[in-house]
Structure 1
Amino acid sequence: MEPMDSQVTAVALSDSDSFSVDGADAADADLQALRRLSDNLAAAFRSPDDFAFLADSRISVPGAPDIRVHRCVLCARSPFLRDLFARRAADAGTTEEKGKEKEKNKEEKDKVELRELLGDEVEVGYEALLLVIEYLYSGRVGALPKAACLCVDEGGCAHVGCRPAVAFMAQVLFAASTFEVTELTSLFQRRLLDVLDKVEVDNLPLILSVANLCSKSCVKLLERCLEIVVRSDLDMITLEKALPPDVVKQIVDARLNLGLVSPEDKGFPNIHVRRVHRALDSDDVELVRMLLKEGKTNLDDAYALHYAVEHCDSKITTELLDLALADVNHRNPRGYTVLHIAAMRMEPKIIVSLLTKGARPSDVTFDNRKAVQISKRLTKHGDYQIEDGKASPKDRLCIEILDQAERRDPQLGEASVSLAMAGDCLRGKLLYLENRVALARILFPMEAKVAMDIAQVDGTMEFTLGSSANNMPPVDLNDTPFIMKEEYLTPYM
């Protein structure tokens, strides 16, 4: 009988010879096995209903369905999640020792809030979180979701550097870095580095802030992004509002070393402009009026309307417009009008206020973008395509308002033409339209509210909510007013 060692040697040599002959087939078999394993694990996540009896935890995302997960998979793949669930298990064990309300607290014990996972520094969307968790299961990156990665400007945008595409990649990067998933972090850092030169300048602070939070795992991205921002035309006020103080200081120091700003002001506005901005931050329009009386600056030189639209409440913007001391179509040093800034803010009330004061929706930026295009490139495809019967989000309303304002060809006195229609026919049409308005307020409350803001009324004459409609002098609909009286025309001019 042969010694055991010789048998082992023979088997080893046999395996070696087999590998040399069938090595490619064996490698393919291993690859197929890994793919099958990946697909099987991914199925446990992608089909939550079929595997609901196995899921032992849920991640709660505001405004979205809970994500059912399996702690064993997440803990095996992520050191961060392993520590998190270990702490929660230890805390739960301490609570159970106290005895009571065990079943009552079980559901809450298994639920993890998104805030507990990722904090408040970066708002990670539902789709981005799904992609990261699916990667933990399968080890593969799935197709990027169109609803979250594409903007609405389908004709003029390549969807490489627009806000939805950039924001999605930044969110995935932050979540992957937080979960300590090095492969996924490296992958999305490379993706952002590849498109960084194509990213619109206004989206750079978003990437820079995320890269700064992930600084240890995103050194290359942080350095490259800082380099681009330093040489960009982004003003210091915008950077100061969007970035932490230590990053702002790095940008200031770099610009000083390159001679891009003067040592006296370091790129910041002068003290008189800063006082106006601080007054706006305090919602004190009366103080703004007093500062203007000093004669040291004016609203246009301080770009006060731009600042209010970008950083202040819509009420402050309206009050500032009512002063009638600023050019509503004034451009800032980057070539943006106030309406362009409002299109970035995506607040319907502010856009309506500017349009009613004469803002021109047809004005273009230095890179040939109109306000409506700016809004479209900031809006996710999923936020624009909504189901019938659901309330329209602000993003969609802003686009529709700007789109209609651009297409509209206003004629002087057009709103009062209907008053020249005579008799009972006009009465019937008015009642019909008022009924439609009342129905619209029920079915489309957001759109109706914006429309009433445009008209500056609380309701229609038939369905008035307040007393503003009673200020109008009565109109005899049985008489044909061939000569329009001034009091009838005034509210529409």
Structure 2
Amino acid sequence: MEAPSSHVTASFSDCDDSVSMEDAAPDADVEALRRLSDNLAAAFRSPDDFAFLADALVAVPGAPDLRVHRCVLSARSPFLRALFKRRAAAAGSSGGVEGNRLELRELLGDEVEVRYEALELVLDYLYSGRVRDLPKSACACVDEGGCAHVGCHPAVSFMAQVLFAASTFQVGELANLFQRHLLDFLDKVEVDNLPLILSVANLCNKSCVKLFERCMEMVVRSNLDMITLEKALPQDVIKQITDLRITLGLASPEDNGFPNKHVRRILRALDSDDVELVRMLLTEGQTNLDDAFALHYAVEHCDSKITTELLDIALADVNLRNPRGYTVLHIAAKRRDPKIVVSLLTKGARPSDFTFDGRKAVQISKRLTKHGDYFGNTEEGKPSPNDKLCIEILEQAERRDPQLGEASLSLALAGDCLRGKLLYLENRVALARIMFPIEARVAMDIAQVDGTLEFTLGSSTNPPLEITTVDLNDTSFKMKEEHLARMRALSKTVELGKRFFPRCSNVLDKIMDDEPELASLGRDASSERKRRFHDLQDTLLKAFSEDKEEFNRTTTLSSSSSSTSTVARNLAGRTRR
């Protein structure tokens, strides 16, 4: 039987731009694969539209759950297929979506912190077979003018996370792709990011041999000290580094590149949070804080409380450079702890000092901060990201224009009335703790507010709200030493806030300075003004109490704050004033 002629073939051959079926087939296959990729990707990228099909959830801390489909992931990843099989066997049935909730730790362990954006990219690849554009919010830093976003920390960290997740899921083609990316720009990576890449390459084992060898060579020849490497890498990798450095003549066989025993004793004391032992070791005279670079070490590796205690000893130079050219403030910018940064600045650390490669502390902090963390919106009353806060503090310190004078008009109006000033400061700091919790806690800790006795007005129960004014100068009150100590601590808190957090201080000034208008309503005799005063006062107290309760439920910061009733009493008292 003669094969029927193809109308499609004829139509192609009749065209000037004729294409044979042999040429058209690959294009058709590519288009079909593209549509298949898009359709499968839609099941993951549009979770609401395909929620009825999802049969598992991946829970990422601090982010929305990812709805996934076990059949797709099992077909694409041997690791996930084995995981789902074990879970199904243990459960006895497939279960529903909530019954198949996977914690991130179960998927990837604790060795590398894989964030939401990196995991999302890997899962999207399992659905679509294509790599999406890298998200700027996760892999670009804030230093947009001086960084190409190739070797900065957000870019390196994101790629390392994707590499680790792809290797763990046994998705070889994706792991190889990101290994090649890292190899291509490894020479452009900032040296402080090399331990991260080396650690991930070591965990990926056989799938990242080339990356491990190349990165190991760069770390061995770098100026990274052994203490820093010891904190970031496992012991078997540390041994390889020390052996290679000794072989190349870069370290002495006697000390393997580590500090002498006297310095190490001080560093071990700091690791144990034992500042008193540090004092005792210093009295032996074998070394000092500067020779041991103890302040650098405490800022980088210890709790902020230890750094504060070490600063109080006042035996270390806060502007001393370590062998790599970093001052203590440069290290603090890497640590990105607002309390440590402010503590150093108040002790005379210079924000204008450059590293050997020409970076200031604020630029170091910007290179470490993700674009999304800095430019993302922060809800009022919610903690600001530490990264963003440190950048703002360092930028403000460089401008050297702290606001001067009284905290606000309301405080100036208090005149010489110590009780009025103390009440004002209590209310201002209480309001700051609710609206700007992280900023307030930093200033309060440095001012040592928690060691003072809180000032309250009246009895322990809320007094009835009366439309009267109270002259605090006429009220029987004796200012005691504990009140003066409290006032000094609160005043320092406000001063630190105005110096390092001017944005927050301006908001507080506006709120506090609007208070006299509210108080004037209460002194007006007209019934309409009295009614308005009642309404405003009730609204203010209700909103303030609700915010206070929410703050107490959600914040994890240590607090010596008063109860909601105390704050309400203080507000009511200030209104009556």
SS in 1 for 2:112: coil
| Residues 78 and 170, structure 2, Cα contact 8 Å, conserved in 1 | yes
Q: 1:24-423 to 2 correspondence within 5 Å? A: 24-93=23-92, 106=96, 108-384=98-374, 385-389=376-380, 390-409=382-401
Change (3 A) 1:445 1:190: same
Alignment-mate amino acid for residue 76 of structure 2? R
Closer/same/farther in 2, CA of residues 286 and 462 from structure 1, 3 Å limit: closer
SS at match of 2:150: coil
| Superposed displacement of residue 156, structure 1 | 1.4
Q: CA deviation at 1:391?
A: 2.1
Render the CA deviation track for 1:323-348: whole Å, top value 9, x for unaligned. Answer: 11111111100000111111111111
Distance 1:236 1:415 in 2: 48
Relative to the length of structure 1, the TM-score reads 0.85
Residue in structure 1 matched with residue 503 of structure 2 by the alignment: none
- Quote the residue 1:484 is aligned against: none
Q: Partner of 1:210: helix, strand, or coil?
A: helix
Secondary structure of the equivalent of 2:366? Answer: helix
Alignment match, 1:485: none
Give, in angstroms, the shift of residue 430 of structure 1.
8.8
Mean alpha-carbon deviation: is it higher for 449-458 or for 121-130?
A: 449-458
Contact 1:78 1:181 in 2 (8 A): yes
* Equivalent residues of 1:352, 1:453 under 8 A apart: no
- How far apart, CA to CA, are the structure 1 residues paired with 2:247 and 2:402? 52
1:236-289, CA deviations, whole angstroms, 9 ceiling, x for partnerless residues?
Answer: 000011000011111111111111112211211001001111111111111111
- Tell me the TM-score normalised to structure 2 length: 0.73
Q: Partner letter of residue 68 of structure 1? A: R
Q: CA deviation at 1:149?
A: 0.6
* Aligned partner of 1:447 among 419, 439, 446: 439
Deviations, residues 273-318 of structure 1 (Å, cap 9, x unaligned): 0111111111111111111111110000000001111111111111
Is 2:490 the counterpart of 1:471?
A: no
**Distance in 1 between the 2:162 and 2:178 partners?**
7
CA contact (8 A) 2:47 2:67 kept: yes
Determine if contact 1:132/1:172 at 8 Å carries over to the other structure.
Answer: yes
The 2-side partners of 1:125 and 1:410 are apart by 37
Corresponding residue of 2:545:
none
Query: Residues 115 and 422 (structure 1 numbering): CA distance in 2 closer, same or farther, change over 3 Å?
Result: closer
Is contact 2:55-2:96 (8 Å) kept? no
CA distance in 2, matches of 1:53, 1:417: 57
Structure 1 contact 438–463 (Cα < 8 Å) conserved: no
Does the aligned pair in 1 maintain the 2:113–2:161 contact within 8 Å? yes
Cα offset for 1:20?
9.5
Post-superposition CA distance 1:169-224 (Å, at most 9, x none)? 00000000000001100100000011111111101100000000002101110000
| Structure 1 residues 90 and 439, CA gap change in structure 2 (3 angstroms) | same
SS state at 1:85 partner: helix
TM-superposed deviation, 1:451: 2.6
| Cα distance change of structure 1 residues 48 and 468 upon mapping to structure 2, 3 Å threshold | farther
Q: Distance in 2 between matches of 1:138 and 1:396?
A: 35
Alignment of 1:423-462 (within 5 A): 435-458=427-450
One-letter code aligned to 2:435: L
Give 1:442 deviation, angstroms.
1.4
CA contact (8 A) 1:434 1:460 kept: no
Q: How many residue pairs end up in the alignment?
A: 452
- SS for the counterpart of 1:218 is helix
Residues 1:409 and 1:24: Cα distance change in structure 2 (over 3 Å): same
**1:10-21 alignment runs, 5 A limit:** 21=20
| Cα distance in structure 2, aligned partners of 1:358 and 1:289 | 22
Could you say what secondary structure the match of 1:68 adopts? strand
Q: 1:446 deviation in Å?
A: 1.2
Q: Which amino acid aligns with 1:283?
A: D
C-alpha distance in structure 1 between counterparts of 2:310 and 2:485, whole Å:
26
SS in 1 for 2:449: coil
Query: Residue 447 of structure 1 aligns to which amino acid in structure 2?
Result: E
CA shift at 1:440, angstroms?
A: 2.5
Unaligned runs of 5+ in 2: 458-479, 489-494, 499-577
For residues 47-70 of structure 1, the C-alpha deviation after alignment (integer angstroms, 9 at most, x for no partner) is: 000000001111111111110000
Q: CA RMSD in A?
A: 3.1
What is the identity, as a one-letter code, of the residue corresponding to 2:37? S
Q: Once the 2 structures are TM-superposed, how far is the Cα of residue 23 of structure 1 from its aligned partner? A: 1.8
1:108 is displaced (CA, Å) by 4.5
Inter-partner Cα distance in structure 2 for 1:369 and 1:234 = 17
Check conservation: 2:453, 2:486, Cα contact below 8 A.
no
